[in-house]
Amino acid sequence: MQTEFNDLVEQHLGARLPQQLAASVDLTKLPPDTRTFIERMLVLMKRAGYGVEQFNTALIRWLSVTIPTMLPRAWGGRIPPITLPGRHQKLDTYVADAYSPPFDNVPVYVDIGCGFPPVTTADTARALADWQIYGVDRSFADFVLYDEAGHYACFDQEGEFQYFQASMDPSGRALYEDPATTRRRFESLYAYLFTLLPESDGKVSQSIEKDGNRLIQNHIRDFETDNLILIKKDLMQLDLPPATVIRCMNILIYFDLQSRKKMLSHTCKLLADGGMLIAGTNGYGIQTRYAVYRKNGEGLSVDEFAFSLDNLGHIVFMPWFSMHENDPEAMLLAELAGTIRGDGQFWPSFSGRLDELLKTQRICVRGSDGFLQALAKEMPLAEYFQKNAAIWQQLEEDGYPARAVEVLEYAGHKAWINGVGDIAIEPQPGTLPMG
C-alpha cells in the first residue's frame, strides 16, 4: 500500500491531520524532489516541536502548489533567481549599525548570489550610500519580460525561457497553479515583442512596451549606479578588493555540506581581516535565520546565529525550507524553536496570544477540532503580508522576544536580542560549517 502524506505526518509528529486538510497533498502526484522536501520538513517540524494542530491550509497549499515550482528541478535544474525588493532591509540596518561613516577608505560590500533582477543589492546600495557595493551572480538573464500585472519572466541570450515570478498582484496565485500555461503565455509574448526590440550594443538596456507588457534586453545595466557594480561570475571564480562585508542570503542552502564549506572558504578569502559575512535564509523579508561570521586571521569564526521571532509562528514556511538533509542552519533553528516550544510557561502564553491575533486579523480561527480554520477563502497576498506584519509587531511589543531569550538562557545558551530585534545565540563550536 502507498504511504500517504497523512501517514508520514503521523510517523513524524505522532498524530494525523483531518482528512480534508491532508487530502490536498497527494504524494503520488508530486515530483520526487517535493516528496523528499516534505520528509525533510517533517524531520525539522519534529525537532522544532511543531504540533500537528498548527498545520493550516496555507501550509498545505505551499506544499502542493508552491514548492513544486520553487525547487531547481522546475527550472531546468538551475537555482532560481528568486528575490524581492525589501527582502534584506533588516540586514542592511544591521550593517549600517555595525559600521558608521565617516570612513577613512570606502568600505566594500559584496552581495553574492544577488539574484535577478538584483533588487535587494539595489536596496543595499541605496541604504549604504557611502559604500562600494558589488552584486555578484553566476547568471543574469539577458531578457526580462514584465506583463501588465508586474509578473515577469526571464529569457537567455537565445530567447530560451528560464524562469518566471509572480508579483503581489492577486492574479499571481494562478501563475503557479498551471506553470506550463504561464510559460507558454510568456513565450508567446516574448516572441511577439522581440521582433519589435531595437538593436542593442550590450552596454545599455533596450526595451519595448506594448499593451502594458515590457520586454527589456540587458536589464542588468539599469541597476548599476555610482556605488553599485554588478558582476556575472561564479563565487568560486570571484576576485575583488578585500570586502568589509559579504552577504550570502538564500544561496548556500542550495548546496550540500561539502560544497558549502568550499564556498565559505572562498568567501573568507574575499573578506578583509576582521570583515563580516552574513549567511542565511529568509522568505520575503520574514522568517529569517542567519549566521554572522567574522574573519580572524586566515579563518572564519561565528559571532552569532540569529532568527526572527516569526519563525515560531503557526503559519510558517521558511523554518521548513531546506534542500539537503540536516541543513545546519535549519537544524539549529529547529532545535532552538523546539526548546522554546517546549517551555511550559512561554509556549501556552505565546501560542494563545498568536491564536488571538490571527483571529483579530481575520486570518483564521481555531475550530472545535483544535485545528486552524481560514476565515477568508482567498486573501490577496499583499493584504496577508500586511496583516502578518501587524501580528508580529504586536508580539514584539508584547515582549515575546525577550521572553524567548530567557527560555534559551535557562536552557544553557548564551542568548540576546541583537541590534535589529532578532533572537541571537552564540552557537556551540561545530554546529555551523566554517569552511
Ligand X SMILES: C[S@@+](CC[C@H](N)C(=O)[O-])C[C@H]1O[C@@H](n2cnc3c(N)ncnc32)[C@H](O)[C@@H]1O
Cβ-based nearer residue to ligand X, 49 or 113: 113
Report, in Å, the least distance between residue 211 CB and ligand X: 29
Cβ-based nearer residue to ligand X, 163 or 346: 163
Burial classification of residue 14, based on how many CB atoms lie within 10 Å of its CB (0-12 exposed, 13-18 middle, 19 or more buried): exposed
Of the candidates 307, 37, 69, 63, the one whose C-alpha atom is nearest the C-alpha of residue 172 is 69
Distance CA 160, CA 412 (A): 54
Stretch that binds ligand X, among 23-31, 51-59, 249-257, 296-304 (CB under 6 A): 249-257
Cβ-based nearer residue to ligand X, 249 or 315: 249
Report, in Å, the least distance between residue 341 CB and ligand X: 27
Stretch that binds ligand X, among 28-36, 82-90, 173-181, 182-190 (CB under 6 A): 82-90
Of the candidates 221, 243, 222, the one whose C-alpha atom is nearest the C-alpha of residue 134 is 243
Residue 58 engages ligand X in binding (rule: CB under 6 A): no
Report, in Å, the least distance between residue 278 CB and ligand X: 11
Cβ-based nearer residue to ligand X, 184 or 232: 232
Cβ-based nearer residue to ligand X, 246 or 404: 246
What residues between 206 and 245 interact with ligand X by CB under 6 A? 234-235
Dihedral-angle region of residue 346 (phi above 0 means left; psi in -120 to 50 means alpha; beta otherwise): alpha
How far is C-alpha 11 from the geometric centre of its chain's CA atoms?
28
Report, in Å, the least distance between residue 282 CB and ligand X: 7
Residue 363 engages ligand X in binding (rule: CB under 6 A): no
Burial classification of residue 426, based on how many CB atoms lie within 10 Å of its CB (0-12 exposed, 13-18 middle, 19 or more buried): middle
Cβ-based nearer residue to ligand X, 245 or 372: 245
Residue 277 engages ligand X in binding (rule: CB under 6 A): no
Among 9, 133, 243, 251, binds ligand X (CB under 6 A): 251
Helix axes 346-360, 328-341, angle to 10 degrees: 100
Among 79, 133, 193, 318, binds ligand X (CB under 6 A): 79
What residues between 84 and 143 interact with ligand X by CB under 6 A? 87, 112-116, 120, 136-139
Report, in Å, the least distance between residue 183 CB and ligand X: 19
The answer, yes or no, to whether the previous bond of 117 is cis (omega within 30 of 0) is yes
Q: Which residue has the cell 539537503?
A: 324
Among 50, 60, 63, 81, binds ligand X (CB under 6 A): 81
Instruction: Go through 227-261 and write b for each residue having 16 or more CB atoms within 10 A of its CB, e for each that does not.
Output: bbbbbeeebeebeeeebbbbbbbbbbbbbeeeebe
Among 27, 65, 82, 365, binds ligand X (CB under 6 A): 82
Report, in Å, the least distance between residue 284 CB and ligand X: 9
Q: How many residues bind ligand X (CB under 6 A)?
A: 21
For the chain, the 3-state helix, strand and coil shares in percent, each to the nearest 5, are: 40, 20, 40
Distance CA 202, CA 303 (A): 42
Residue 331 engages ligand X in binding (rule: CB under 6 A): no
Cβ-based nearer residue to ligand X, 74 or 249: 249
Instruction: Please give the angle made by the CA atoms of 64, 14 and 7, to the nearest 5 degrees.
Output: 45
Report, in Å, the least distance between residue 430 CB and ligand X: 25
Cβ-based nearer residue to ligand X, 263 or 331: 263
SS3 237: helix
Rg of the Cα trace of the chain?
Answer: 22
Cβ-based nearer residue to ligand X, 233 or 403: 233
Residues β-bridged to residue 295: 300
Contacts to ligand X by CB under 6 A: 79-83, 87, 112-116, 120, 136-139, 234-235, 249-251
